Structures are given as structure tokens and as C-alpha cells.
């Protein structure tokens, strides 16, 4: 003969039901707060508006030991990007810049500034520059972070576009896609 457990009883099952309902409501709330999965963009989004400002006319020496001022590059729009050799995301940035350069050879200057003197060195940057050499790319080792400070850079792969008047007309702190930068540069 079976006897009903007096501690459980028939009425104890409603507690299980309430518990399951609470857990379900919590799971639904957490699921609702999660961001949607990333989707592959079908076209480049419009670049975010940016209030133009004068670019600091910094002096620097490229990896070939040629001295420059930023104003020396006002013959055409300039893309200025801050990188480190160990940075995988920076490599993506450089790939996008190379695609842009190939699509618009001779139309823009590209200055890539290595900002990590603790892990990178001028000889390493020269070797990297040799692997990515083309006439529109200038590689600079910012050993004292003077360029970083002049531009107020807070993150690697930060990219600025400077027009032929010396004005910063675009800034992005993420990987700049070729299509998005192309939209910005097409307006210059």
C-alpha cells in the first residue's frame, strides 16, 4: 500500500509551478536584454558626423629617417592611423587601408603611427613597412608618444582623415572599413 508523504502532499506541486514560472520569467528577461547577433552589413553605413578641427602640425621622422611635418602632406587628403605591431585588430585596419589605397592609388596619403615603444622598435617597424611598402604609406615610430598626445588618441587603430586644408574631418576608434573611409574621402 502506498501512503502519501505528508510533507509533500498534493498541494506542494504548486510551489514547483511557481518556481518554474519565476525561473522562466528571469530567463526571458535576461534573453531580452541580450544584444541581437551581429549581421553582415550589405553596404557601408554612413560615417558618423564629425565637427572638423585643425590638425596639429606635428613634426616626425618616418622609418626611413626622412623628416616631415604633417603640413607636408596637404597635397592630398591624409589618413592617419595609430597602430602597434602586435595588435591583431590593427592588422585588420591596415588590410582595409591597403584595399582603399589599391582602389585609389595616388589619391591619398597614409601615415601609420606605431605607438608602443615598450613592445615595438624602429627596426621591427621598418621590417613591417618593407612588407607593406607602397608609395602612399608612411610608417612612423612614435617612441615618446608625442603624436599620440597631440591628437589625444585613447585607443589603437584610431583613424583620422585630414583634408588638404589641414582640418581633421573624420575620426574613428574602431576598424575603419574601406567603404566607410571611401565615402569620407570621396567628399574631399
In the chain, the domains with their CATH numbers are 53-186 (3.40.30.10)
Confidence at residue 187, expressed as pLDDT on a 0 to 100 scale: 81
Confidence at residue 42, expressed as pLDDT on a 0 to 100 scale: 38
Confidence at residue 133, expressed as pLDDT on a 0 to 100 scale: 74
Which ranges of the chain have pLDDT less than 50? 1, 36-44
pTM of structure: 0.71
Q: Is 180 exposed, middle or buried (0-12, 13-18, 19+ CB in 10 A)?
A: buried
Confidence at residue 172, expressed as pLDDT on a 0 to 100 scale: 87
Amino acid at each position: 500500500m502506498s501512503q502519501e508523504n505528508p510533507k509533500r502532499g498534493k498541494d506542494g506541486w504548486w510551489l514547483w509551478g511557481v518556481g518554474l514560472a519565476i525561473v522562466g520569467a528571469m530567463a526571458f528577461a535576461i534573453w531580452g536584454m541580450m544584444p541581437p547577433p551581429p549581421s553582415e552589413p550589405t553596404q557601408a553605413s554612413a560615417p558618423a558626423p564629425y565637427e572638423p578641427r585643425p590638425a596639429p602640425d606635428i613634426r616626425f621622422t618616418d622609418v626611413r629617417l626622412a623628416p616631415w611635418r604633417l603640413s607636408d602632406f596637404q597635397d592630398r587628403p591624409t589618413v592617419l592611423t595609430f597602430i602597434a605591431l602586435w595588435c591583431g585588430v590593427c592588422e585588420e585596419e591596415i588590410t582595409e587601408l591597403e584595399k582603399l589605397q589599391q582602389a585609389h592609388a595616388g589619391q591619398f596619403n597614409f601615415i601609420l603611427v606605431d605607438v608602443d615603444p615598450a613592445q615595438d622598435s624602429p627596426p621591427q617597424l621598418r621590417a613591417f613597412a618593407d612588407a607593406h611598402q607602397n608609395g602612399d604609406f608612411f610608417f612612423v615610430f612614435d617612441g615618446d608618444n608625442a603624436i599620440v598626445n597631440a591628437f589625444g588618441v585613447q585607443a589603437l587603430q584610431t583613424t583620422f582623415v585630414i583634408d588638404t586644408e589641414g582640418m581633421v574631418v573624420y575620426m574613428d576608434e574602431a576598424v575603419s572599413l574601406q567603404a566607410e573611409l571611401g565615402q569620407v574621402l570621396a567628399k574631399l
